[in-house]
Amino acid sequence: MDATKKPFRISPELGVYAEKHGIFQILQRLLQGLLVDKPMEPIQYMIDHLKSENDEVPRVFLLGPPASGKLTIAKLLCDKLGSNFLTLENMMANKSDVVNKIQRFSIKNKEIPNTLWAKLILERLSKTDCIKRGWILVGYPKTRDQALALQENGIAPEHIVILDAPDTVLIERNLGKRIDMSTGEIYHTTFNWPTSSKVQKRLVKPNGVKEEETVKALLEYRRVCHGILNSYSKKYHVVNADQPSVDVFSQVMSHVQSRHRSNAPYTPRIILHGAPGSGRSLLAALIAEKYRIVNVSCGQLLKEPVAAETRLGEAIKPYVESRQPVPDVMVMKCISQRLSKLDCSTRGWVLHGFPQDAGQAEMLKDAGFSPNRVFFLDVPDDAAIERLTVRLTDPVTGERYHSIYKPAPTSEVYSRCKIHPKDSEENVQQALEVYHANVVDLEEFYNAVIHVNADQDPYTVFEYIESCVVKPLSKHTNVFV
């Protein structure tokens, strides 16, 4: 490196590349694996880890009291994610030295050491199918000592889900539990009764479902469950199991597909897209103020060279004065110049007003500017028209008012306020038609779009956008809220 070229500046493209491919996270996982597994050949270990391509597979503990629905939800998760369904019972079906040791303890009616259970689980998780497809471990660990034994053996799940419900609900639910002894499927007399008469005849009442037995099991669970919470205090997520299984599964699935907050360097590059009147400008200002990133307004960028009377401004001026669309090439030049500046590269940016269609999005991509968050602000046309057509502008101060939400402070100010020509109902309707004509193609262009209901208080919308900015995106793409 040439020392005469100081101060050095790292190219922004390097940061975008590292973020896109998760370079920081890869190095973090490699270091974590080296410290936990302590391999004899660390270089070969890292090569094998990179070849395995298993960093995104599910690794989940699914816990909860008796009758909370753990087995049902776990099977649904495994069917959806293609992961391995693990319980202590099905792991004991495999023959190994560890299984033989556990069986000897069991025959002698001795308590099985937690270290043996941990070795059994580690042995199962080390197999190729668990490494490649991930796993859902159900009902274990149950105590803090068991959790510590797992941690000592380097077993660390990505997600821990705890299903919970009031004890009265669990007792009543357990009374109706039935099992098909041929298949092992679990049914319920109220919530999940089989339609086949043959299956109905095979159902039997399992052991431990009497009220006294359920109460005893619940008391034991409540006595020790706090130890699990303390062992995984920063990872566990509680889901209310006192609701339809479809809703429980949806919440568990959403959490399992989420990513933990990372320590990786992160520069926000945000696009706010929405219909006229969706609140893009206000939300962009709030985001920029909170996180000290650059607020890039396409409309404002086009006015700046016109005011400065630059060569580009002279070319743009006729379009601005006649209220005609500025050619995409000129718009892109203004945006490219602004996003290339040092403050945008180092602090990040929030762009609104551009792109408005897939063609403009392609131009932005070709120029080397890729957003890492794309928000679509959804608002009904009626609400957008109501917001804009009663908007007033004070020509003296430039302040904007709204007849309903932000009226002018005095009658004097109100008397001099004017309605901007672009806020007429006809112009707003035309703008909405243009928006709807392009929104589908633009959504298809960006593969990770976050839809936000913008027909609510702007600060509520801002809080949700803020949560999506600071947290990593979930493993699935489009999100609707």
Q: Which residues form the domain of 99?
A: 58-256
* Domain annotation covers residue 19: no
**Does residue 171 share a domain with residue 76?**
yes
Gap between the Cα atoms of 31 and 42, Å rounded: 10
**Does residue 212 share a domain with residue 341?**
no
Question: Which residue type occupies 316?
Answer: I
**Does residue 207 share a domain with residue 69?**
yes
Matching residue, tokens 């609400």: 383
**Does residue 300 share a domain with residue 193?**
no
Give first-to-last CA distance, the chain, whole Å.
48
We report the CATH number of the domain holding residue 362 as 3.40.50.300
Choosing from 233, 256, 279, the residue where a domain stops is 256
**Does residue 104 share a domain with residue 154?**
yes
Question: Model pTM?
Answer: 0.72
**Does residue 234 share a domain with residue 109?**
yes
Choosing from 256, 287, 314, the residue where a domain stops is 256
**Does residue 354 share a domain with residue 248?**
no
**Does residue 278 share a domain with residue 251?**
no
- Measured from the Cβ of residue 5, the count of other Cβ atoms closer than 10 Å reads 8
**Contact in structure between 178 and 187 (CB atoms under 8 Å):** yes
Per residue of the chain (481 residues), what is the pLDDT tens digit? 555 666 556 666 777 788 888 888 888 888 888 888 888 999 998 988 888 767 788 999 999 999 898 988 999 999 999 999 999 999 998 888 999 999 998 888 888 999 999 999 999 998 988 988 999 999 999 999 999 999 999 898 999 999 999 999 998 888 888 888 777 777 777 777 888 888 888 888 877 778 888 899 899 999 999 999 999 988 899 999 999 889 999 999 989 988 877 777 788 999 999 999 898 999 999 999 999 999 999 989 988 888 888 888 888 888 888 888 889 999 999 999 999 888 888 889 999 999 999 999 999 998 888 898 999 999 998 888 888 888 888 888 888 887 777 888 888 888 888 888 888 888 888 889 999 999 999 999 988 899 999 999 889 999 999 988 888 776 654 444 4
Gap between the Cα atoms of 249 and 75, Å rounded: 10
**Does residue 359 share a domain with residue 323?**
yes
